[in-house]
A and B are shown apart, each in its own frame.
Chain A
Amino acid sequence: MMPNASVPRESLLDVEGLSILIKDKRGDVRAVEDVSFSVAAGETLALVGESGAGKSLTALALMRLLPKTLAVEAKRITLAGKDLTSPSELDIRKVRGSIMAMIFQDPLSALNPVLTVERQLVEAIRLHETISRSDARARALELLDMVRIPAAAARLGEYPHRLSGGMRQRVMIAMALAGRPRLILADEPTTALDVTISGQILELLKELQRDLGLGMLFITHDLHVVRSVAHRVAVMYSGRVVESGTVADVFERPRHPYTEGLIQARPHGSFVTDGHRLREIAGTVPVPSARPPGCAFEPRCGRAEADCRQIVPPLVLEPGTARSLACFHPLQQEQYA
């Protein structure tokens, strides 16, 4: 089932003109350029794109957890009414874990191997609430129940390596929820898990998101996952958002040639089938330091014309729709009607 597309648009996170610079002596390179999006409370926005498109960097930039060699520039970032455009170390620390929490890709490496589940959970709980150790322990149990870990009390004393992959990711999710955040940044939370477990984790995230009314920024390269969890989707290509809108709109009537290419490259593509062979997009993603002067997708695009080679198409809201598009020669929706 697809999530209901009509959700209230009370904006929780607003990002405008976010760029991420790789600082280099020979000149800075923009890994992410002029990205804008917003996430409402109770809404899941999926960021999709190939590896290296800048999805994970975008999430880490919001948390200010990028390595020191990368710099963040933004016109405006607001989260739950707080201005986070250029926050101080203390400001961002107050936000991390309490308003905005992050779930990482590989739960084994993201959990501290030498500390028990209890230590790591209780630490997260007590960081944001002044409560006693025993109350924190009770809350930790409650959180483990919430992420449906069976025999939660016994699990508290375990070290991460004793848990299964799915269990570890549930602990990660419990830890993210410890500070009662309003926005969850999920960075490919199911990529490191096997298929059945990944399905369970997706269901859990969907449920928690709905029940707790969380906003969620869900990063993935898996279009099936997008369809199952997200209300809206933003497609990234080479550091920019090229198309965004509701999942139904974008997936059923893609207008950017890259989005169309991605959908056609899916296995069991249910929209357009071309015999049994998967259709790949010819060519490769340009590296950030050697992007073409115009549209980054132009060298791989069948619809490119002279203007695409010179000017970067801006992301523009299509009049009368909820869709934004960065293309001079988009596909017409009628083709897929």
Chain B
Amino acid sequence: MTALNRHLLHYLGWRLLQSLVVITIVVIGSFMLLHLVPGDMVDVLGGQRGDMDAELMATLRARYGLDQPMLVQLFHYVTGVLQGDLGYSFRNSNTVLSLVLQRLPATILLVVCSVAVAVFIGTLAGVFAARHVHRPIDVIISMVVLIFYATPVFMTGLGLVIIFSVKLKLLPVGGLITPGVDMTTLQLIGDVARHMILPVLSLSLFYIAIYARLARASMLQVLNQDYIRTAYAKGLGTSHVIIGHALRNALLPVVTMVGLQIAELFGGAVLTETIFSLPGVGRLAYDSVFERDYPLILGVLLVCSFVIILVNLIIDLIYTLLDPRVEVSR
């Protein structure tokens, strides 16, 4: 066991080193990319006020360091990041870090719940379809799932709002918490949960389709393996074979897919957060782009890549637990 732990520590160290390289590339890459875009924050301010003259604009640029050469700005930015300073958002009059951290919980809640719901329902539907392959129920599951897959997230979201909030008046239209009401912790959790149902549903319906198709294919493939025949030969019943022998093997591609799609889900969160006016990172990124708030955009990108790298590391660790053939090593 100690040998294994040492292996694991070694592996984690190696992965952290890799992550540092990736984050460095993300920081430099996105910084340069953003500076290729014509216009800066001062242009936007000037456009909004309409009465700004060239002198004032130059003064503002000098004040915010925007008149410096790009490499100098990059150097300032990187030194700041290394000290935990992601910059200051002048438009929001707050540090980027605190802005992003304020918004992160809502997004993480949305993404994690959506992944959990999508994986759970998707796998369940896929395994069920595989057990009844080519029978009517399999075809029906495939069709329903395809419809969800083909419907854009914003349309699902709006449709759900119309049905459940506007017509049936069962669930709130948007937001994270009912404003202006005093609540106990338990009531607060319930309130947030009620607010999260529709966003999570609209984001996960699309992904349920992917996991259902994947789990079905993977299950069908696993059920054809020799070790499934061995399990039956022992005298095990069907449900025992499926749960005890097939499922864990069939889940391997599903777990891989979660890792691959985490980044995409953050992208999907932008749409969902906008539709349901959730105070998340996606909305923050969306707004900061239109306000040319470079430090904020960079900060969002940086924190998101950090979260994605972390999630991928966790997924890889789960994978090594599920499949002993994948052994941790450099």
Contact = CB atoms under 8 A, between A and B. Distances in A.
Interface of A: 63, 65, 93-98, 101-102, 104, 106, 109-116, 123-124, 127-128, 159, 161, 172, 175, 178-179
B227 A112 contact: yes
Contacts, number: 71
24 contacts: A96-B235, A97-B234, A101-B233, A101-B234, A102-B233, A104-B226, A104-B229, A104-B230, A104-B233, A106-B226, A109-B225, A109-B227, A110-B226, A111-B230, A112-B230, A112-B231, A114-B322, A114-B324, A114-B325, A115-B245, A116-B324, A127-B236, A161-B324, A175-B230
Contacts of B233: 63, 65, 96-97, 101-102, 104
Contacts of A124: 234
Interface in B209-239: 225-227, 229-237
A65 B230 CA distance: 9
A114 B249 contact: yes
B255 to A, nearest CB: 12
Given A96-B233, A113-B325, A115-B248, 14 more contacts: A65-B229, A93-B235, A104-B230, A104-B233, A106-B226, A110-B227, A110-B229, A110-B230, A112-B227, A114-B325, A123-B236, A124-B234, A127-B235, A128-B235
Contact of B235 (A104, A115, A161, A179): A179
Interface string B235-266: 11100000011001100000000000000000
Given A114-B248, A114-B324, A115-B245, A175 B226 contact: no
Contact of A123 (B226, B234, B324): B234
Contact of A113 (B229, B235, B236, B323): B323
Interface string B64-99: 000000000000000000000000000000000000
Nearest to B227: A112
Contacts of A116: 324
A164 to B, nearest CB: 16
Contact of B249 (A94, A112, A178): A112
A96 B322 contact: no
B269 to A, nearest CB: 33
B175 to A, nearest CB: 44
Nearest to B226: A109
B318 to A, nearest CB: 13
Q: Give 8 closest A-B pairs by Cβ, nearest first.
A: A97-B235, A109-B226, A96-B235, A159-B324, A112-B227, A97-B234, A110-B226, A110-B230
A98 B324 contact: no
Contacts of B230: 104, 110-112, 172, 175
Nearest to A127: B235
B226 A113 contact: no
B227 A175 contact: no
B314 to A, nearest CB: 19
A102 B235 CA distance: 11
Interface of B: 225-227, 229-237, 244-245, 248-249, 322-325
A37 to B, nearest CB: 20
A123 B244 contact: yes
Contacts of A97: 233-235
Contacts of B225: 109
A96 B236 CA distance: 8
Contacts of B234: 96-97, 101, 123-124, 127, 175, 178-179
A106 B236 CA distance: 20
Nearest to A94: B235
B218 to A, nearest CB: 13
Contacts of B324: 113-114, 116, 159, 161
Nearest to B224: A67
A130 B227 CA distance: 24
B133 to A, nearest CB: 10
Nearest to A64: B232
Contact of A112 (B232, B237, B245): B245
B55 to A, nearest CB: 71
Contacts of B325: 113-114, 159, 161
B219 to A, nearest CB: 14
Nearest to B244: A123
Nearest to B249: A114
A179 B234 CA distance: 8
Contacts of B235: 93-98, 127-128, 179
A93 B226 CA distance: 18
Contact of A96 (B232, B245, B248): B232
Contacts of B248: 114-115
A250 to B, nearest CB: 29
A128 B237 CA distance: 13
A159 B231 CA distance: 16
B127 to A, nearest CB: 16
B64 to A, nearest CB: 56
B286 to A, nearest CB: 42
A111 B233 CA distance: 12
A115 B243 CA distance: 13
Contacts of A110: 226-227, 229-230
Nearest to A60: B229
A111 B249 CA distance: 12
Nearest to A159: B324
Contacts of B232: 65, 96
> Chain B CB within 10 Å — which of A97, A112, A172 has the most?
A112
Contacts of A115: 245, 248
> Chain A CB within 10 Å — which of B229, B230, B245 has the most?
B230
> Chain A CB within 10 Å — which of B231, B234, B323 has the most?
B234
A179 B229 CA distance: 17
A10 B100 CA distance: 81
A179 B236 CA distance: 12
Nearest to A119: B244
Nearest to A63: B233
Contacts of B231: 112
Contacts of A96: 232-235
A272 to B, nearest CB: 38
A115 B323 CA distance: 9
